[in-house]
Amino acid sequence: MILKKRKIVLIGCGLVGISYAYSLLITGDADEIAMIDTDKKRLSGEIDDLCHGLPFAAKNTEIYMGSYLDCKNADIVVITAGVAQKQGEGRIALLKRNREVFSEIIPHIMSSGFTGIMIIATNPVDLMTSFARELSGLPYTKVIGSGTTVDTGRLKFLLGAYYNLDPKSVHAYVIGEHGDSEFVPWSCANIATKPINDICRENIKYSLEDMYSIEERVRKSGTSIINFKGATCYGIGMALNNITRTILCDEKTILTTSCMLMGEYGRSGVYIGVPAIIGSEGVSEIIELKLTENERHKFSSSCDFLIDINRAASVH
């Protein structure tokens, strides 16, 4: 039996894109990776460097410099391309500049005949995912943003360290905008099936104040890493790999991706980070958490913030 090759097209091969490609090679989750970037000289060097590690990788993945024609038969197109935020630059200016990048890229993708799933990692990711869906005309279930996946990973890591547990045993999410208005719905956070709120109330070793401190560390993690090393890349690269594997293997895993709400949480037409079941068809279901009144207010405010930024960028 001839098995269909699992093909990824990666557009944008800066630090995030290369970290994602490297992660794919290590885990062997793709059979073929076509890479596209405007800087072809640097891309050629990156591909050679990656290929030299293939003898030590999980499988002999085919990786090469591609073109937009490669999108035609791709299972997934991942876009990490975009301009970096300048010092002092606001969200509206960044959104407008990256919209210009997508206005160039996405028509080329769609003219190839692409019908697969599109994953967006370019910031501001919730708004860029919405723009990608608008430009592509793909079903909203097939255009997915990285959302708060990396933020949720940061949360689980910090909680695992705090409780001295494997982070995989922590069941908690960061939801909302991938940015300052994101938050942790602590009422839905559990270790095994026990609510973290109850653990903190019953055991003097732990406290809710520590939980709020961890939440703030998560919120500021991206900025902290950028201040130390100039960019974040490994965490988001591995998060993108996780989304990719979930799709290619039809795992039906719940991930906090940026998805379009269609009545969930009382909102519609806005892309935002929420727990969703991800599989071979993209988003099959958004999981609506049972939020407290205060958490619902935070979530609604996060939605409103995204809508306001999008509207302002469209007007100016």
* Distance spanning both ends of the chain, measured CA to CA: 56
Asked whether the predicted pLDDT for residue 2 surpasses 60, the reply is no
| Encoded tokens for 180 | 């300052």
The 10s digit of each residue's pLDDT in 44-62 is 999 999 999 999 998 999 9
Strands 143-145 and 117-120 come out as parallel
Please name the amino acid found at residue 267.
Answer: R
pLDDT at 316: 54
Give the torsion through C-alpha atoms of 26, 31, 37, 39, to 10 deg.
Answer: 60
- Determine the average pLDDT of the residues in 272-290: 97
For residue 315, the tally of other CB atoms under 10 A from its CB is: 7
* Known catalytic membership, residue 178: yes
Q: Give the residue among 212, 92, 96, 77 at the shortest CA–CA distance from 136.
A: 77
Q: Per the structure block, which two tokens stand in for 245?
A: 């594997």
Catalytic residue among 52, 178, 297, 316: 178
What is the pTM (predicted TM-score) of this model?
0.96
> pLDDT (tens digit, 9 = 90+) per residue, 75-108?
999 999 998 777 677 778 889 999 999 999 999 9
For the stretch 142-191, pLDDT in tens is 999 999 999 999 999 999 999 999 999 999 999 999 999 999 999 999 99
Q: What pLDDT score was predicted for residue 1?
A: 41
